Structure 1
């Protein structure tokens, strides 16, 4: 099957898979145990922590492993909120294009008495400090804005947002699941309070994520008394999965620029092929863009129909975020960019890796072309 849905998940790289097998066979001890089996597992765990923190340009002491990127989002946000000792700080700002895990958790926080304000991007898909300013009050506790959107690939300049909020004493969290190891992240330099990442988006295993928390930022655990992960999260640590995560990170981060150049070529190729085959589709693009994610609004064709047609021809695409698949509702991400609800239902996402080929993109284009002709779209 042709995979054009890498933003949903990526297969494990051969090196990451081999690393997992070796760690599971040889380093199976509980990293919290005091005997030598536990000690060897602990050494591998800490070496992996250092390697992943290095890719974030952060401090290894601030990296805590979780069961997923979604869990990292929730634990990071709640741990930061727990660390605030000013009762009046009860307002949170989040973007309209956050991952479903954050949107759902915002609803939970509302039930706990927090006031949640949503902020939409400008016409260029950006959220800038000048847009945040009117929403900030003395009660603002935290702002969460993802770095790269999973549906459109539009990027936010979090390196600019973070210092602005830092000056105002407001905590800042960013979901970097889609951007980690694809574009540089400078956690320490930017002073971001918390970052969320995930292994399976970078050709590592599923079931492993991490939250990076600035070592200068105060936080309190979600579950008091937890001993694992330095008090951040309970549960025996998945050392083989984490070791595999670290291998995948080292492998992918070593060729970020080359991969992005190749993805830009593939994106331009996709645009050319769609045009050449008379498939009318509007590319959703921001001023800053992850080239590997192409959000398209099709002409007179619902996204779910295009997805099913591609699937019949053994091509995997998405009609939005995989975490919201099956929900017959227009994407808030797309409508927040000025598209109508009807246009948002015609949205599809094509997401590529540097190993995607032009022939695969051609096969995808021909499926859309055939569906268009069969439906009589464009005929007089």
Structure 2
């Protein structure tokens, strides 16, 4: 790389850093993708210019994520169909941005095509085989490999062996010769650890959990948090007990005592529940004996227990409700449902 090109590359690196700082889980992703793609291009004995272009395109390939809303880019849970369609726009946006960087506009089509698949199932254009720029076919392998081998907000990193297995299983997405070469060379190099800074994942996860999944008033799980838990529970075969709780005549209570007192009523109910039980406060893989408590609407809550003794829990809940009703002179209505956790989200999601 000559001095002129290095100078221009130094100009765009701050923009890449800003993009990745929005999502700490992908810090260093662009540098690693550039490294893997350049490694592959070199192993294929491609022209020096191609090797250089694929490295630079690797650095720029996700720059379009700067145009994706935080609520989607940083969402800890699974994206719905509409959200996924929005995040898919990042490759096109990347191409548009690069097209407007004078010294790198010739890379725009490569950057925009890094999510195209060899069989035509990719995006944004559904290109296939040689319709996809050569450099983009290199980037595609590097991009997926790095995504698999690094920690993401929705899962832990996969092992080197697991990642190679998935690449083989998804071979229809990649140029067959490029993939074959990558699988041969990467065991000699392993996983690069390049990243821009040390990431405090525990603190980050807590902040994101609070932003997306915690009710700001009661500090317990909100509706989205509950849906995320139900989604995880659907992959298991647990026996669940669900208790729907709602404060009867809550509107009248607010009318007579004011909304601030109504808010305090909800807060006190949550505090009493936490004192009586020990619910989970973060979105994680569910385990036997876990308990969850969520506020799903203004005066409606749901209590979920996994593989717990029904009579014991019901007794404790009834005692708690009785204490609350006596102290605040309100009535709480409860509805109990017993379900298997498999497909629980689709079975009761409509109730939320």
TM-score, with structure 1 as normaliser: 0.29
Structure with the bigger percentage of strand: 1
- Bigger RCO (CA 8 Å, 6+ sep): 1
Larger Rg: 1 or 2? 2
Structure with the bigger percentage of helix: 2
TM-score, with structure 2 as normaliser: 0.30
